[in-house]
Amino acid sequence: MRLQRKLRRWHRWLAIATAVQLLAWTVSGIYFAFIDIEFVRGADHRQSLPSTAIDLSLASWVTAEATEVLIRHRLPQEVVVGVVGLEETRWYQTDGKELLPLTEMEALKIAAVKTDLLADQAVLITEAETGSEYRGRALPLWRVFNGNSPETVAYINASSGEVVAIRNAAWRWWDFLWSLHIMDYDDRDTIGTLLLKLFSVMSLLTAMGGVALFISLPKKFH
């Protein structure tokens, strides 16, 4: 009985210590399970482009250290080629000439063709920010949106013209709940933080303690 009382006491304190995080795991897990991930990613705002003929006969890119070659549509009827190197990706016209970055008007033109956002504003992003909506994407980027609906934005690569991300309210909720789920509140990308490991072990001990208490109770209490 003395051991059972100690176990109950330790189990109570463990349960209190882990209750908030267990609730966060449960709520975030429910959100992840029930919401459509393609909706979160803004797939419903993307528009497909018509096919374009590609002539690479005049191309002469520097590919000595290339690991991959990418072909992308940029402006309507414009195809660009990306040479992926060990440290960066360089973008060229199909004749091999190096590509100039998109202007603000060109970024808005691409947004009109590749999305349904009716974007009328564009902001150039040149510096990375920890935990930003565009983290992990190569800079510079154009952030485009409609002034009347600024909560939904598209991020366009300033060289290739690719819409690399679309962010909406559903994604921001996902991102917030994901930070609670993995217990990384800064960049939201690190799985296996010390906090996550600690609370995972504490939650396991809480569950094991509950099972041990159930088994050790007299049958009349079952």
pLDDT in tens, 36-74: 999 999 999 999 877 777 776 766 666 667 788 888 888
> Is the pTM of the predicted complex or chain greater than 0.75?
yes
- Cα–Cα distance between 32 and 48 in angstroms, integer? 27
| Residue 27 clears pLDDT 50, i.e. is over it | yes
Tell me what percent of the residues of the chain surpass a pLDDT of 90: 51
| Residue 213 clears pLDDT 90, i.e. is over it | no
Residue-by-residue DSSP string for 115-156: BSS---EEEEE-S--TT-TTTTSPSPEEEEEETTEEEEEEEE
pLDDT of residue 221: 47
Higher pLDDT, 141 or 11: 141
Mean pLDDT of 181-206: 89
Q: Is the dihedral of CA 10, 13, 19, 25 positive or negative?
A: negative
Question: In terms of DSSP H, where are the helices of 35-68?
Answer: 37-40
- For residue 182, which amino acid is it? I
Chain segment 65-87, per-residue pLDDT in tens: 778 888 888 888 888 888 888 77
Chain segment 111-137, per-residue pLDDT in tens: 999 999 999 999 999 999 988 999 989
Q: Where are the domains of the chain?
A: 2-37+173-221, 43-167
